Amino acid sequence: MKKTKTFTRILFCLMMVASSLSYVHAQSNMPMMKDSTMVPAKPEDISPLLYGEHIPTAMLMDAKGVAFDLNKAVAAKPTILIFYRGGWCPYCSKQLSGLQELAPDLEKAGYQLIAISTDKPEGLMQTSGKQKLAYTLLSDADLRVSKMFGIAYKAPKAYWSMLPETTGGKDADLALPVPSVFILDKKGAIHFEYINPDFKQRLSPQLLKAAAMAVYPEL
């Protein structure tokens, strides 16, 4: 058992280094994004919240169009918070399915899963039903919360005609979030994050589980 825990902690440390390298080059060449209204032109130029920082105050809409207090939910139990682009993204769909398979183990360990995207509530409902997701999906259609997390960037032109439809016209900046994973304690402090400007690269369910168990091995 001790060897297993030691291996998990070593793996967690390696993952922390790898996730930091995903955007450390961009941060070394860009000032921290203090203004949450700023949207950089490239995903490599984002300035996300960092390990140890606390998430901002955020209200979003759930799949039924009901207001959801993110901070109140996080205060209830340790949280794995996912930002994904939308149900229209095949890489996101694969990630969401993997999370659903992992959800029972994470919930048994004391976690809750919350996933946020640019989709309007109706889109969330379609995604949840199609993929039979049992965890919470939230709408950040105007990317207000993504901007506060520092992970929003200007979408490539290929997406400009689609986003007004999927967001319900709320995405005035035609922006997208860099797909991200945050593990939070009940105070909203970040204990782990995986943020990769390459939207095709996602944290595998196995590595996410290992990270979650390393953050709170006592759960």
Using CA atoms, how far apart are residues 219 and 60, in angstroms rounded to an integer? Answer: 28
Using CA atoms, how far apart are residues 154 and 173, in angstroms rounded to an integer? Answer: 7
Using CA atoms, how far apart are residues 161 and 1, in angstroms rounded to an integer? Answer: 53
Q: Which fold has domain 2-215?
A: Glutaredoxin (3.40.30)
- Nearest one of 95, 134, 101, 136 to 116, comparing CA atoms: 136
Domain boundaries, the chain: 2-215
Q: What is the pLDDT of residues 85-101, one digit of tens each?
A: 999 999 999 999 999 99
Q: Can you tell me which residue has the tokens 């203004």? A: 35
Q: What share of the chain is helix, strand, coil (3-state, %, to 5)?
A: 40, 20, 40
pLDDT confidence band for 218 (50 / 70 / 90): low
Contact 129, 87 (CB under 8 A): no
Chain-wide mean pLDDT for the chain? 87
Q: What is the pLDDT of residues 111-158, one digit of tens each?
A: 999 999 999 999 999 999 999 999 999 999 999 999 999 999 999 999
Q: What is the pLDDT of residues 3-52, one digit of tens each?
A: 444 444 444 444 554 444 344 333 433 334 344 567 999 999 999 999 99
The percentage of residues in the chain with a pLDDT greater than 90, rounded to a whole number, is 80
Q: Where are the beta strands (DSSP E) in the chain?
A: 59-62, 67-69, 79-83, 112-117, 136-139, 152-154, 175-177, 180-184, 190-195
pLDDT of 217:
63
Contact 133, 33 (CB under 8 A): no
pLDDT of 216:
75
- Nearest one of 47, 116, 107 to 81, comparing CA atoms: 116
Largest CA distance in the chain: 54
Using CA atoms, how far apart are residues 217 and 78, in angstroms rounded to an integer? Answer: 12
pLDDT of 38:
77
Using CA atoms, how far apart are residues 64 and 123, in angstroms rounded to an integer? Answer: 10
